[in-house]
Structure 1
Amino acid sequence: MYKISIVTPCYNEEDNVEELYRQVKEVFKTIDDCVYEHIFIDNDSKDRTVAILKGLAAIDQNVKIIVNSRNFGHIRSPYHALLQAQGDAVILLVADLQDPPSMIKDFIVKWKEGYKVVLGVKNQSKESPAMFAIRKMYYNFINRVSEIELTKNNTGFGLYDKKIIEILRQVDDPYPYFRGLISDIGFESYKIKYVQPVRKRGITKNNFYTLYDIAMLGITNHSKVPLRLAAMIGFLMSALSLIVALGYFIAKLIYWNSFSMGTAPLIIGLFLFSSVQLFFIGIIGEYIGSIHTQVLKRPLVVEKERINFTSCDD
């Protein structure tokens, strides 16, 4: 008999958590040789999410709840919950039902075959075509600049063996890029493709800032290319500026009376160099911000409350 941990991060998901709980429970009724726990970590929801979860936990000891003292963001909270899981394998499953709970059984089948990591990969999505295209462009870009190969179109949805979780517990990172860490650990993964359904209830908590945060975290944690690109472009533009300046100087000497320097080249050059400098100052700032976060060594989250956890789970 083995144990599977389902980890579900949630924030203002009162419309979805009960249905997700029900679907997960139905899946495990069809699996004879395992027990399971369903860990919900709530990021200080402002709606009835926690109340609904407490109601479920009161009638089902498989439901375990962690309530954060405040909203610690979409990076730290799910990662913390993964580290609290005690199963032989852990499945990360978000609350919005856009990752199908029915795939749990497929993940477990491949895990039993020996795979330490089984990932769900979105080959299609019923969300906004423009958003899916942007995500695809990002994954292509990050794979080009990254020092390791990252899994495209995977949001973290998948199964992770307890050996992977033990390795993650040894990683001292207060702001981890989970998908990158899984690739960095290096175990072979099995990928199961699926079509992501549209969200039926509630509204997405992702916005431009959260998506930008994930994108920059992936770049700063797994690539030095932007920093090296800044140095190379700086050198090339300096050389180009010297050549242009020399050309202007020679032209002025030859056509002293008829050659006019003009203000247009000066204005264009000023704005070009200024924009390039600001762009790479921003890139350097992202790396410095990442270092600053690491140095602070703050906890992933601060818990306000735990429900249905026993002492052996802690």
Structure 2
Amino acid sequence: MKITILIPFYNEEEMIEKTHQVLSKELKTMVEFEFELLYVNDGSSDHTLELMRKIAEQDERVKYLSFSRNFGKEAAMLAGFDHASGEAVIIMDGDLQNPPYLIKEMIAKYQEGYDVVNAKRSRDGERKTTSFFAKIFYKVANTMMDVELTDGVSDFRLLSRPAINAITSLREYNRFSKGLFSWIGFKETVIEYENELRQAGQTKWSFKKSLNYALDGILSFSNHPLRMIFGLGLTCIAIAGLYIIWLLFNYFSDPSQAVSGYFTTIFTIVFFGGVQLVSIGVLGEYIGKIFYEVKGRPHYIIEESNIKKGDQE
């Protein structure tokens, strides 16, 4: 049985060799399987590609793809799925925060008949702010999205060939893989493990990138924000109607106490102006996603690879 280990790398010159060494050591304990190590260079600006070439020359199991620029992790995973030749694919990060020792357990679950084997990590050792915002995201996402996400389950998972074929058939440009993995269905299970800390280098996921990724996920898998705008509009109309009724009541009750209208004017402009800007912003996000989809651009461009046509089955 052939298993593909898929690892996207972006500016990981401090980790790529160590990751390969640790992974290779773990794979030596599983001689009954054939492994393909598929590394994707996501347009790194450091020496990641040079080190990737070196590793591939020393280890014939290593196949690599190198993008012409940085297309993002979603594109890197899709490229890996498109070029993987294994019966099953295991996705891992290149910083060893996804422990290789779980590979054996993942394959065992796959042999039991599961198409998707998810790895769920604890939040031990993580910043409190990171854990706090992560919990908020999962609560909001599971309330608004059409799929169910589990806190602690990242992209570290095993996918069977039928699951991979289902994922690669979904060619949407705005990709949110966590949602896609859940959307395709198939028989799945979860393996829990203790959180591993990065051993070298810096994380590429800043708070801003994480926030954008969360917003993209919610907008890609739900039309609830549009419905919320509709509800907000109705609420504003109701508030405005009640306010006008209150002003008329005060005027007819005691005309001498009627206000000049300055506060009313400012309140109306600021409140409804803010509602309109938020509504236009949400609509703009959806229109922007439609704009990217209809252009039909490729998800990635491969500049260099050591994969030959005959290597893919």
TM-score range, shorter chain: over 0.9
1:214 Cα deviation after fit:
1.5
Aligned partner letter, 2:89: V
1:306 Cα deviation after fit:
0.4
Contact between 1:124 and 1:194, CA under 8 Å: does it hold in 2?
Answer: no
**Structure-to-structure mapping, 1:207-218, within 5 angstroms:** 207-218=206-217
Counterparts of 2:87 and 2:140 in 1: how far apart (Å)? Answer: 34
Counterparts of 2:14 and 2:308 in 1: how far apart (Å)? Answer: 25
Distance 1:169 1:258, change over 3 A: closer
Query: 1:246 maps to which residue?
Result: 245
1:261 Cα deviation after fit:
4.3
SS at match of 2:14: coil
RMSD after superposition: 1.6
Counterparts of 2:209 and 2:191 in 1: how far apart (Å)? Answer: 26
SS at match of 2:66: strand
1:174 Cα deviation after fit:
2.1
Aligned partner letter, 2:282: I
Gaps of 5+ in 1: none
CA deviation vs aligned residue, 1:99-157 (integer Å, no higher than 9, x gap):
11111111111111111000111232423221121112101110011122223322211
**Structure-to-structure mapping, 1:154-303, within 5 angstroms:** 154-303=153-302
Are 2:36 and 1:42 equivalent residues in the alignment? no
Contact between 1:57 and 1:308, CA under 8 Å: does it hold in 2?
Answer: no
Gaps of 5+ in 2: none
SS at match of 2:241: helix
Are 2:143 and 1:129 equivalent residues in the alignment? no
1:308 Cα deviation after fit:
4.5
Counterparts of 1:108 and 1:73 in 2: how far apart (Å)? Answer: 27
Counterparts of 1:255 and 1:205 in 2: how far apart (Å)? Answer: 64
Contact between 2:85 and 2:311, CA under 8 Å: does it hold in 1?
Answer: no
1:205 Cα deviation after fit:
0.9
Query: 1:116 maps to which residue?
Result: 115
Aligned partner letter, 1:139: Y
Counterparts of 2:19 and 2:309 in 1: how far apart (Å)? Answer: 24
Deviates more, 1:174-183 or 1:254-263: 254-263
Counterparts of 2:152 and 2:264 in 1: how far apart (Å)? Answer: 44
Aligned partner letter, 1:144: T
CA deviation vs aligned residue, 1:269-302 (integer Å, no higher than 9, x gap):
4322222222222211111111111111111100
Query: 2:146 maps to which residue?
Result: 147
Contact between 2:78 and 2:168, CA under 8 Å: does it hold in 1?
Answer: no
Deviates more, 1:66-75 or 1:252-261: 252-261
Query: 2:51 maps to which residue?
Result: 52
Query: 1:11 maps to which residue?
Result: 10
1:262 Cα deviation after fit:
4.8
Contact between 2:123 and 2:152, CA under 8 Å: does it hold in 1?
Answer: no
Are 2:76 and 1:65 equivalent residues in the alignment? no
TM-score w.r.t. the length of structure 2 is 0.95
Deviates more, 1:33-42 or 1:262-271: 262-271
Query: 1:93 maps to which residue?
Result: 92
Deviates more, 1:241-250 or 1:148-157: 148-157
1:83 Cα deviation after fit:
2.1
TM-score w.r.t. the length of structure 1 is 0.95
Aligned partner letter, 1:101: P
Counterparts of 1:146 and 1:188 in 2: how far apart (Å)? Answer: 21
Deviates more, 1:273-282 or 1:31-40: 273-282
Number of aligned residue pairs: give it: 313
1:232 Cα deviation after fit:
1.2
SS at match of 1:155: strand
